[in-house]
Amino acid sequence: MNDTPTQPTLPPENLDGLNALLNRLVAARREIGKAVVGQEAVVEQLLTAIISGGHVLLEGAPGVGKTLLVRTLGAVTGLDFARIQFTPDLMPADVTGGLALTPNAQTGRTEVEFRPGPIFTQILLADEINRATPKTQSALLEAMQERTVTVSGRTMALPEPLFVLATQNPIEMEGTYQLPEAQVDRFLMKTVVAFPSEDELDAILDQTTGTHVAAPNQVLSAAEILELQRLTRAVPIASHLRRMVARFVIATQPDGKGAAKRIADYVRFGVSPRGAQSLVLAAKGRALIEGRYNVSLDDLEAVLLPTLRHRFQLNYEGIAEGVDAEDMLLQTWRGVAHGPK
């Protein structure tokens, strides 16, 4: 069975323009690599997310370069960058902005004025999001979903493109507020930033403890990213691959008809319809990054875990038995995509 799409294939009206955009994506990966050693898979996932119009939840130990990665992404794309350090006393208005009394120098009167918060940017790093209260988390996630902020009946659109990267520290969990499943589901991907290898760590030490400071160049613009987001949605996917995704998502439901015993015994929540949408959309973005104009099986498999690991919940029995949720996801996918061995 081939991957021939059932829809008209890309490129659309301008082949040269599309190829130029794809070349800039390749250049963006190269420029990020000037400042960020290793983490090629993480960089690919972030670029995939940004051209797919989604947000990313980054998880990694302190000091593995999450903030550097996001700052570098902002420099390479030319997008405005802001950072919020989430703490237990952070209020929703500290994220979205709020009303303030401001003296008017011309009239001498005090007027009510809206002061935008740090969410009014294009790339936002929400550092240690799980340290803020659920009310503050909800304010950020609502803005991410709706792309607007409403204060006193006035609705204001956020800048486009908007790309939020929220970090979680998996080590220190005391004093944190775990994100509810419904809110975690708003993130297109959950990306795990692994500890560097010995060679990568040696290169990091060489690069960061000397006198030379890497300075990545801007190779993309906001307008080009918006165009890439439009093109990503236009990437076709073959009908049999789309049906495969639907069959796989149904296979992850513990109360589904014909659910495998391990799914019925150990899974609390399977992959949601939004998870299926995220899987297909991210696969389209990955196809563009790889320079192809239709989704392949490899694209789906490459983004499977990043898009679904935070949408697949074990029950108490599964946790107690030490079941590996990611391995169960992969095994279920292989059973659907490749059949029983």
| Predicted confidence (pLDDT) per residue in 36-70, tens digit | 777 788 888 898 999 998 899 988 777 667 777 88
Q: Which residues contact 40 (CB under 8 A, 6 or more apart)?
A: 29, 33
Question: What phi, psi does 125 have (nearest 5°)?
Answer: -100, 110
- Residue spans of beta strands (DSSP E) within 60-160: 81-85, 97-103, 110-116, 123-127, 148-151, 154-157
Residue 179 to residue 86: CA distance in whole angstroms: 13
- Percentage of residues of the chain with pLDDT beyond 70: 90
Q: Which residues contact 229 (CB under 8 A, 6 or more apart)?
A: 51, 52, 53, 161
- Percentage of residues of the chain with pLDDT beyond 90: 17
The overall average pLDDT reported for the chain is: 82
SS3 percent helix, strand, coil of the chain, rounded to 5, is 45, 15, 40
- Whether the predicted pLDDT of 159 surpasses 90: no
Residue 114 to residue 118: CA distance in whole angstroms: 13
HSE of 330, CA atoms in CB hemisphere, 13 A: 10
At 114 the pLDDT is 78
Residue 103 pairs in a beta bridge with 110
The pLDDT tens digits of the residues spanning 22-31 come to 888 888 888 8
Model confidence, pTM: 0.84
At 299 the pLDDT is 93
Residue 101 pairs in a beta bridge with 112
CB 197 within 8 A of CB 157: no
Look at strands 313-314 and 267-269 and give their pairing.
Answer: antiparallel
Residue 31 to residue 25: CA distance in whole angstroms: 10
Q: How far apart are the first and last CA of the chain?
A: 18
The pLDDT tens digits of the residues spanning 295-334 come to 999 999 999 999 999 888 888 988 998 888 899 999 999 8
Q: What's the one-letter identity of residue 285?
A: G
- Whether the predicted pLDDT of 76 surpasses 70: yes
Confidence class of residue 2 from pLDDT cuts 50, 70 and 90? very low
Q: Over range 201-230, report the average pLDDT.
A: 80
263: tokens are: 């799914």
Q: What's the one-letter identity of residue 187?
A: F
Residue 65 to residue 94: CA distance in whole angstroms: 25
Q: Over range 3-12, report the average pLDDT.
A: 47
Q: Over range 246-257, report the average pLDDT.
A: 88
Q: Over range 274-283, report the average pLDDT.
A: 93
Query: CA torsion 187→189→193→199, rounded to 10°?
Result: -150
